[in-house]
Amino acid sequence: MVSRSRTLSVSLGLLAVTALLSGCAGGSSDPGSSTAAGDADAPATITFVGYGGGGQDAQIEAWQKPYTEAHPNVTFVNTSPPDVAQVKAQVESGSVQWDVMATAPYAAQQNCGTLFEKLDLSAIDQTDLVEGTVGECYLGNWINATPIAYRTDAFPAGQGPKTVADFFDTDKFPGQRGIVTNLQNGILEYPLLADGVDPDELYPLDVDRALNKLDTIRDVTTFAPNVGALQQAVEADQVDMFLLPDSRLVPLLQSGMDITIVWDETVASLNAFAIPKGAPNKDAAVDFISSVVEPDQVAKISELLGVAPVNTAAKPQLDEFTKQVEVYGPANTGGTVLQDVDWYAENFNDVSTKLTTWLAG
């Protein structure tokens, strides 16, 4: 977790931390070089579950195409959206269909060994990976930032919100808000920050306090079930200010939408892959996800989506749009709060239930 005063140190820390990484022995960036357990060249069709839309298209381009070039006997079937409840249903019925699923690392960790496979990732050279990338039941693939942003035309002449507190000030800043209900996108952290909690003291999260603060904007907020739905609401001018991940802001900026990003305190989270317990192509899935943390693949996904790399050896060449959402780059003039994976891993199911109940109320 990172406060405003520690933004520089965190940025440097992400570049210097020595905990975890890249492909296989020798640190090669060749997607065919990973050496996970099992025969990676055996014929297999990996069912890959992502969030859909342009983000999944980028994953196909950055990760799946290089992998299938190196492993021509492996093919992919892509579907969406990822859902832990669906994994539970598949596991309990003994009919697991998915092989790789994008997920929050803490969702995989809390259900480690029950809904998700314990993974042997010892073949991965972890030297250059950001701390926390390799888990017992997950492998991180990028760091997502979810900054506050607004349609510039909704607040002309520089009169838009400038702080997290402004997002919750409906008197000074009227208009429709947009929030994704996914825990990864700051739905609990932002209300606590707005309510005066110091970034260094966020965890353990006071969930009740966060929901009480959300109550103050409930009547003027669109709670989107996923990032794609909120992106569409922004494109349709249905929301004025919103909490939208960097990877979804980039296509909006590319399309010519006039969007202002608010760099006050920004919530960021580790995104990951997990393998459902009993996955029909576990060995091929392990080998594939091991390849996505190699420098070339990490750089490519950052270039396509604007997400922050989990491999510090990666050197993405960002364009004018991805630079605007670079949470650990010069664009971010505020602070960054990186979600506490351990706290969420311990509390994920209970917190999810409490948030779901609040949303239904």
* Per-residue model confidence as pLDDT tens digits over 304-334: 999 999 999 999 999 999 999 999 999 999 9
Q: pLDDT tens digits, the chain, 361 residues: what are they?
A: 344 333 333 333 333 333 333 333 233 334 443 334 455 567 999 999 998 888 999 999 999 999 999 999 999 999 999 999 999 999 999 999 999 999 999 999 999 999 999 999 999 999 999 999 999 999 999 999 999 999 999 997 779 999 999 999 999 999 999 999 999 999 999 999 999 999 999 999 999 999 999 999 999 999 999 898 999 999 999 999 999 999 999 999 999 999 999 999 999 999 999 999 999 999 999 999 999 999 999 999 999 999 999 999 999 999 999 999 999 999 999 999 999 999 999 999 899 999 999 999 8
Give the tokens for residue 31.
């997607």
Contact, 224 vs 180, CB < 8 A? yes
Q: Which of 260, 314, 246, 243 is nearest to 55 (CA)?
A: 246
Contact, 173 vs 160, CB < 8 A? yes
Report the C-alpha gap between 252 and 259 in whole angstroms. 8
Contact, 46 vs 99, CB < 8 A? yes
Give the tokens for residue 246.
């960097």
Give the tokens for residue 164.
């997290």
Contact, 83 vs 91, CB < 8 A? no
What Å distances lie between residue 10 and 16, 327, 335, 353, CA to CA? 10, 11, 9, 32
Q: Where are the alpha helices (DSSP H) in 60-131?
A: 65-70, 84-93, 105-110
